[in-house]
Amino acid sequence: MEQLEITGKIISGAGEGAFFTQIDWVQQQCDEKLGFKPFPGTLNLEIGSDDLPLIASLYKKKGVELVSPDPKFCNARAVGVRLEKINAAIIMPEEKVRIHAENIIEIIAPVNIKATLNVADGDLLNIRLLER
């Protein structure tokens, strides 16, 4: 099987990931479906144009569904990834609430990724997609 890797540049986000990742149903479903409760916040990666077709294909994959018990709240999907020693997931909110451009992906993990990997905004980071 082909190994799928994406390289992106770490960038600052809008600060909304911390709210989403701490919602009770998000924490519970991530624990059940992804095997971890997410650390507050997301890591944002700016993806180069060469990897955009791969990102577009991710949005077409089913992934793991995170379904809100409140129909007024957005749902999301997640695709498992590995960042060096960290199991994580790309989180893909429903299109109606996406705030980032198509070349930005958000990653959730059980730990603070920047602190754990000793990386900062502007650094490049490789992620490996995990097939489920």
pLDDT by residue for the chain (132 residues), tens digit each? Answer: 345 888 899 998 766 667 778 888 989 999 999 999 999 988 999 998 887 777 767 767 778 888 888 877 778 889 889 998 899 999 887 554 455 567 888 999 999 999 999 999 999 999 988 764
* Domain harbouring 90, CATH code: 2.40.30.30
Identify the H or E element spanning 18: helix 17-21
Side chain identity, residue 85: K
| Interatomic CA distance for residues 19 and 34, integer angstroms | 19
Which residues, other chains included, contact 59 with Cβ-Cβ below 8 Å and sequence gap of 6+?
92
Question: What are the angstrom distances between the C-alpha of 32 and each of 5, 37, 72, 84?
Answer: 25, 9, 23, 23
Task: Record the tokens describing residue 11, joined without a space.
Answer: 């960038």
pTM: 0.84
pLDDT of res. 1: 39
Domain count, the chain: 1
pLDDT of residue 100: 55
pLDDT for 9? 94
So what's the pLDDT on residue 123? 95
For residue 131, the model assigns a pLDDT of 61
In which domain, by residue range, is 31 found?
Answer: 5-129
